[in-house]
């Protein structure tokens, strides 16, 4: 297995944190970026509000100065669940999504390219 340096945005909690923990457990080197640093992140961590261009540039400069970034997990985004109305939505738990993300970053997924993989418990099949 090749150890990779993986940058994870929104890494302080939830999906990002689960991805970092899974990657670290399998010998990779997670590098997290988020607005607040967690107490015991399993790798390198940089505090930055990604909505702030200057703070983001400074954090990315620090990440890149440490060596090559092999992969990026862009986990920052906003979801307005209220806009979904009365749909009964099972969003899953962070570790379920982290498992799929870590698989796609693994050498086992080396032949998968250009695909949309929905990790939603079958929810998109009902639409």
Whether the per-residue pLDDT at 76 is higher than 70: the answer is yes
CATH number reported for the structural domain that contains residue 80 in this entry: 3.40.50.720
Q: Identify the CA nearest to 61 among candidates 73, 51, 48, 71.
A: 48
Arithmetic mean of pLDDT, 43-59:
93
pTM, 2 dp: 0.79
When mean pLDDT is compared over 49-63, 68-82, 87-101, 105-119, the highest value belongs to 49-63
| CB-count burial class (<10 Å; 0-12, 13-18, 19+) for 50 | middle
Closest by CA position to 74, among listed 1, 7, 4:
7
Number of domains comprising the chain: 1
Determine the average pLDDT of the residues in 4-26.
94
Contacts by 16-25 with C-beta closer than 8 Å and gap 24+?
A: 16/73, 16/75, 17/41, 17/94, 18/94, 18/95, 18/97, 18/98, 19/73, 19/75, 19/97, 19/98, 19/101, 19/102, 21/98, 22/95, 22/98, 22/99, 22/102, 23/102, 23/105
The strand pairing partners of 17, in sequence order, are: none
pLDDT the model gives residue 89: 65
Question: What average pLDDT does range 72-81 have in this prediction?
Answer: 69
Listed in sequence order, the residues at least 6 apart from 4 whose beta carbon sits closer than 8 Å to its beta carbon are: 23, 28, 29, 70, 71, 105
pLDDT of res. 88: 53
Q: Residue 110: which domain range?
A: 5-126
Most confidently modeled range among 82-86, 112-116, 118-122: 112-116
63-70 mean pLDDT: 92
What does the pLDDT read at residue 121? 80
């Amino acid at each position: 297995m090749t150890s990779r340096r993986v940058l994870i945005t929104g890494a302080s909690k939830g999906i990002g944190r689960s991805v970092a923990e899974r990657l670290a457990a399998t010998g990779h080197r997670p590098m997290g970026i988020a607005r607040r640093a967690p107490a015991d992140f399993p790798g390198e961590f940089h505090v930055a509000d990604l909505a702030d261009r200057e703070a983001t540039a400074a954090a990315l400069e620090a990440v890149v100065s440490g060596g090559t970034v092999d992969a990026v997990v862009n986990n920052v985004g906003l979801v307005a669940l209220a806009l979904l109305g009365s749909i009964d939505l099972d969003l899953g738990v962070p570790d379920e999504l982290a498992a799929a993300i870590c698989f796609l970053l693994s050498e086992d997924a080396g032949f998968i390219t250009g695909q949309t993989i929905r990790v939603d418990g079958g929810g998109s099949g009902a639409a």
